[in-house]
Structure 1
């Protein structure tokens, strides 16, 4: 999926040399339709597509049971590596890209496709918990290996590689933090993607601390067995329809509440009561708390009020553009003038999908935009992409 046609042709020719069959899509919508129709073995995805962000396409691919198993390698002129990897990409390259880098990326995809058996390392000192996690994650094509201590984990990682590691942060001989510190510092060990399995939410400080150990790995908190299964099957690129029936049921349950929205606060700035109702009925059942403002002035007042209550801080804004008293573009510019709101994600909701409108929204300071009438899946995808992690 690439709108730069000369670059798309280079990737196409290289892939053909490596015996891949190829389809080129130059827009996000065309790419989504092609992925669902052809179910390709792999996707090379550009972030800067003309109609939607490639990150939104990645999110939609990973939330569709028909396509979530497809490995996606992201190529972009801007550095969204951490977001792309967290959304489920297998790799990330910054443009300009050398031919050798493309060859290496395509060969890695090929290796992944040929590898039938996946290996998961579970680091957990409670024998009963370890046994239940091995039962939860193991299938005919997934081998689970247990380690009860940090020392045993290091021994396993010295001798072999794993596709994914599930880690309990409290181990008898060392903390999960010091274990990750060792892995990031010493080349003698393989360092797979890490999913932290914990009975509670990771605090922002803990997340920051975990992220310090390596920029190139994904560390995700999973609180429930369903959420853990969801994350592991995503990493392993397992085809949902080929999983045992019980695992499929658990994945369905994990998706009914959206982990990205659970407990988050969204400010909806919209003067049309019907749209307010529609947005509220999309967000609240998925675990979000919605605050409503009917124009730009009310939006600024709502954000100001939230500053005084740290627990009530707004995580993301959905901003209608056409409103009385103060329109959405003016409100967005005002928000961006304040340092405290510089990084607050704002998604502009426009009346029409005109190129000028979109550019105006981004120039005013919006992170992304979406034209009405709203498509629920696309909107949820944009929210997941921009919601702070």
Structure 2
């Protein structure tokens, strides 16, 4: 019993040291409604979340995280285990649902899924949406994962000159996609916003039945991205979210910015995330990967995943200023390897997913004052 207790205490202290040791703060702070300065929230990693997976499961790359109305977390796993792992373990289902305590409550691997699973979203009716950056479809499933309710696009048929992923992207089809990365659903009318961004360079909008409505966006030159030209994207258009303010927030990953638009596609402003980190480095993969809003009514903060520097940034939504950040490269609790995605629950806790060599989900508990 003493050994178990000591191991528990050691794990907790290590987790706290990792997060607090990697905490980065900036002089800028968000404004409260009364005009006083509001410090950004702080987080500590929960090294015991989730609980051990059943059935000898091991996740592959965790390409997406999203939260439902009951604060259950869905993760999307690519199931790409190593040869060694396959000898001793079983690939987890592609979709796993966890309750707030970290227990698996549901899972599924539907018979037809997008290749290169990428992005998930739980809409206002608790339906689950997923996409894939190796394919040309976005799918909508019932909350219990038993029923495919809608598919946008055609599997394996890309919006390109020859219909393949290798063809030149056309960025124009009303029915086809080209390697979509993320999905958001407007709770006011059910419109579906897709960041069609690994092949194409656009945000494309469909109605709740999958009928095309509109689109915006095109490829940017490096100079245009550096100048902050709106509506033009470097590689890749990596994420899309709709705020309580009715604006659309789009992750221009390698452009190091979140571009903000009206729902019509009219450009509003840029939110820069560590601009120029990859300057003179062709291998740079950008700092604006994915984002989530803080759950307060004003959505005071944006949480941005920076897979280039392995940092989760806290940004003032209105000011667009970097306020703080945490994380560093590594495999210990609270560290990141290919930090890819983030989701927030109603209590302000954050859930991150890591791809490539990270291949895990982590929970960061909100501590202290929250907005």
Name the TM-score, length of structure 1 as normaliser: 0.28
* Structure label with greater radius of gyration: 1
1 or 2, which has the higher helix percentage? 1
The higher relative CO (CA closer than 8 Å, separation ≥ 6) is in 2
1 or 2, which has the higher strand percentage? 2
